[in-house]
Amino acid sequence: MNGNATFRHNNVALLSVNSVLAGEVLSSAEFDERLAPSLKRLHLSKKLLERVSGVAERRWWSAGTSFDDAAITAGKQALDAAGIEPGQIGLLINTSVTRRNLEPSVASKVHHGLGLPSSALNFDIANACLGFVNGMTLAANMIDSGQISYALIVAGEDAQPTQEITFQRLNDPNSTREDYLRQFATLTLGSGAAAAVVGPADRHEGKPRIVGGVSRAGTAHHELCVGGPAGMYTDSKGLLDNGLELVVDAWNEAHAAGWDWTSMDRYVTHQVSKSYTNAIIKAVGLVRDRVPVTFPKWGNVGPASLPMTLWQEAKSLKPGDRVLCMGVGSGLNTAMMELAW
């Protein structure tokens, strides 16, 4: 491989990472009840969803809370935790999959809601579940180049509208077992928000460093998982098989380029399902008890799931720990990013 498959950052620190949990908890058993007519007609087990995915529950926003308002809240909390004023931010990147319109960007509302200065660049990066990691990489590059000093990356996801439509479609008398399996992944989604502040490491001694990482694309498989307001349609086996191949290629590429990720203190992966997590652990030989899982209680929160998991793990990390963030997104794309605590 040539080009920018692997990359290193010189002077970038993760100053904070924060999460906002959606207020309404819904169990997979409740989803099964919503789908009871079709499950009975199609002779499918009510416990199939939780048994196969490992998702016991996920969250929806409480009435009156929107995904972009939650992203604003997460951003405020991240700024406070980092000790950075809104006026110091030179870049805001929103990485949400969820959006209510094609334009303007979600970032424009978040920028306004946070009271960021007119000089702060703001835009969306849309790259499925990999968006947040991509946003951090872009921000780190701009800090290293000297274009900006501080950046804020946010994501806010709302699974409810898509899942409500999916309930209606699967309960249609004409729905099939194939329909259920193709839309199964939609039922594992969850709602939540996350934000992170990054800045120059030489001004923030003792903060975790963003060291660098690797990325790879497998865009021949861009039709394996296609999502939109009307639902998400997935070839689960094709997605898993080809996603694993891409991850292994990226892992090998990184080690050939001088990285050593065989004994990290934590592997923070994008949260999809039980089978996905087990497959990743086996494919590259991760230490299982160093791979935290949050999908059983939060579901797959899209690009917010990785930073939400990192937020949870940050409470137990100590100076000297090494963390590898790992994600795969529809497209297919993968990225791995090392953090040094």
Catalytic site positions: 103, 129
- Residue 117 makes CB contacts below 8 A (sequence gap 6+) with 86, 87, 89
Count other C-beta atoms under 10 Å from residue 34's C-beta. Answer: 18
**Distance set, CA 26 to CA 23, 31, 62, 105, 307 (Å):** 10, 8, 11, 29, 22
Peptide bond into 104 cis (omega under 30): yes
Helix (H, G, I), strand (E, B) or coil at 126: coil
Report yes or no: 309 and 292 within 8 Å, Cβ to Cβ.
yes
Burial of 143 (0-12, 13-18, 19+ CB in 10 A): buried
Instruction: Tell me the β-bridge partners of 333.
Output: 217, 329
